[in-house]
Amino acid sequence: MSNFIVLSHARSGSTWLVNTLNNVPGVHCYGELFREKANYFVDRGLKVERFPLWREKNPGKRPLATFQYIQPLLSQEEIVGFKLMYGQLFRYPELAAYVIVRRLKIIHLFRRNALQGIISYKIAKERGQFHYRGEEYIPQTKPIVVNAREVVSQIRSMHSRSKMIDYFLRFAGPHVDIAYEDLATNQAGFRPIWQLLGLDFEASPPQWQMKQARTTSLRDTISNYSELADALSAAGYSSYLDSK
């Protein structure tokens, strides 16, 4: 038995990674079990109540209720894990203690280009759909107008959260830091994850059903690109203005 978490922030490829792991024989990776919506997580034959829905039927006090919920899901003879977003770790600090004490393996997935993640979220929200699979039609990306000051504030907030996560990882068990950009450009980027989980990369290479939702450059995606570029440059974030 081997337990793990996928620790990540929004729009960093975490749903894609969960879907990829669920294509590997003997691996079960649940999505956001601690998402605020009281519904089910469903993927590749897996279906489980998220914590808010489970708690409607099992009204107990935290942190005990949290442990009573998560322990049975991880007590299996296969490789089992779940996705935990930064915000959920802060909202459920008992999970930090659980991960550290139980020495859960951690796949820390992040995005080097914070701006890309922010814009990706805004586009997905505009479309009303965050992920696409298989033959699903992906509508053409329409240029959007962003609040430049808000974007700068979001980048600063993300940097602050990342520092707290780095501090948490100092006390945690075995972990790998994986950049979304590495996974997106080379399948070999998944190899450290496979090694952490004790998987045979050649026998079970990464496979997935998810599709990239945006292929246009930032300049073509953002109507007020020049305004945003000026604001980012003034804040010291001009390096995020890459070609995509």
pLDDT band at 146 (very low <50, low <70, confident <90, very high): very high
CA–CA distances in Å: residue 181 to residues 11, 78, 112, 119, 170: 12, 29, 7, 15, 23
User: Phi and psi (nearest 5°) for 235?
Assistant: -90, -5
pLDDT band at 74 (very low <50, low <70, confident <90, very high): very high
The token pair that represents 179 in the structure block: 């950049």
Predicted confidence at residue 243, as pLDDT, reads 47
CA–CA distances in Å: residue 144 to residues 130, 138, 217, 219, 222: 16, 16, 12, 11, 5
- With a cut of 70, say whether residue 121 has pLDDT above it: yes
Pairing mode, strands 2-8 and 79-85: parallel
Beta strands in 103-226 (DSSP E): 105-110, 132-133, 175-179, 210-211
* Rounded CA separation 92/168 (Å): 14
222 bridge partner residues: 144
Q: What is the mean pLDDT of residues 20-40?
A: 93
Q: Mean pLDDT, the chain, as a whole number?
A: 89
In this structure, which topology does domain 2-113+132-140+162-213 adopt according to CATH?
Rossmann fold (3.40.50)
Predicted confidence at residue 111, as pLDDT, reads 93
Q: What is the mean pLDDT of residues 61-82?
A: 93
- With a cut of 50, say whether residue 180 has pLDDT above it: yes
Among the listed residues 54, 90, 86, the one whose alpha carbon sits nearest the alpha carbon of residue 72: 54
Q: Tens digits of per-residue pLDDT, 33-61?
A: 999 988 999 887 788 999 999 999 998 99
